[in-house]
Amino acid sequence: MSRGGSGGRTRVKTSKGRTAQSTRWLERQLNDPWVKKARAEGYRSRAAYKLIGLDEKFNLLKGAKRILDLGIAPGGWSQVARKTVPRATIVGIDLLPVDPIDGVTIFEMDFLADEALEALKDALGGPADLILSDMAANTVGHPQTDHLRTMGLVEAAVDFACDVLEPGGAFVAKVFAGGTDHALLAILKKNFTTVKHAKPAASRKDSSEWYVIAQGFKGRLTED
């Protein structure tokens, strides 16, 4: 590893056992200002600043009493929520193991499992004010397939949100290139008073990720 180039950019030498792709990823991480900022301020990932940016724009966290963090790993979003609303009940879930966060209940489970949904409801102890979903399906390298797999997770999260959200509550989810599918967008507009898309400053410019922000949950609707 060496320093060179303009602004003291850190360059990583390709070593035995490390692929060129992993070398590029490591170099990008080492030179990412959001990664450096996260380390300096004690956040587990640069993703913390995505939520901070969304909260500054949409005022998501203020006054929230029960928050659900779907796809919590490594925990940056819940760290931001705990710091912003320290008295809130915060519950997170992920397939990956997550180091404990003081004041946050964490489940290492598949969100799509029936037992997970009941566990989350019990841990919340009542209707949620805010549901955050940074979930993304494991990629297979085929853009359309990856998009559909992630949208499947978002659809499941929306269904759950409509079951556990307090009237007036909000739902935030990561989507990718292609944005929110028309069918899903119709569901969100039916159940929330406002639905918008945003790309936080902390999202990499070359990333296809966006976030859909649905606010003003209308309450559980009866079937037509």
For the cut 60, the answer to whether the pLDDT of residue 26 exceeds it is no
- pLDDT confidence of residue 91: 98
Residue ranges per structural domain of the chain: 46-217
At position 20, the amino acid (one-letter code) is A
Q: Where are the beta strands (DSSP E) in 134-176?
A: 165-175
Catalytically active residues, by annotation:
174
110 assigned ligand-binding residue: yes
- pLDDT confidence of residue 5: 40
For the cut 80, the answer to whether the pLDDT of residue 29 exceeds it is no
- The structure's pTM equals 0.82
Fold held by 46-217 = Rossmann fold (3.40.50)
Give the residue with greater pLDDT, 198 vs 179. 198
Confidence of residue 150 (pLDDT cuts 50, 70, 90): confident
Q: What are phi and psi of 143, to 5 degrees?
A: -50, -45
Contact in structure between 146 and 187 (CB atoms under 8 Å): no
94 assigned ligand-binding residue: yes
Confidence of residue 180 (pLDDT cuts 50, 70, 90): low
For the cut 80, the answer to whether the pLDDT of residue 1 exceeds it is no
Cα dist. 217→53, 107, 158 in Å? 21, 25, 11
55 assigned ligand-binding residue: no
DSSP category for residue 4: -
Confidence of residue 99 (pLDDT cuts 50, 70, 90): very high
- pLDDT confidence of residue 184: 87
Q: For 217-222, what is the mean pLDDT?
A: 79
224 assigned ligand-binding residue: no
134 assigned ligand-binding residue: yes
For the cut 90, the answer to whether the pLDDT of residue 210 exceeds it is no
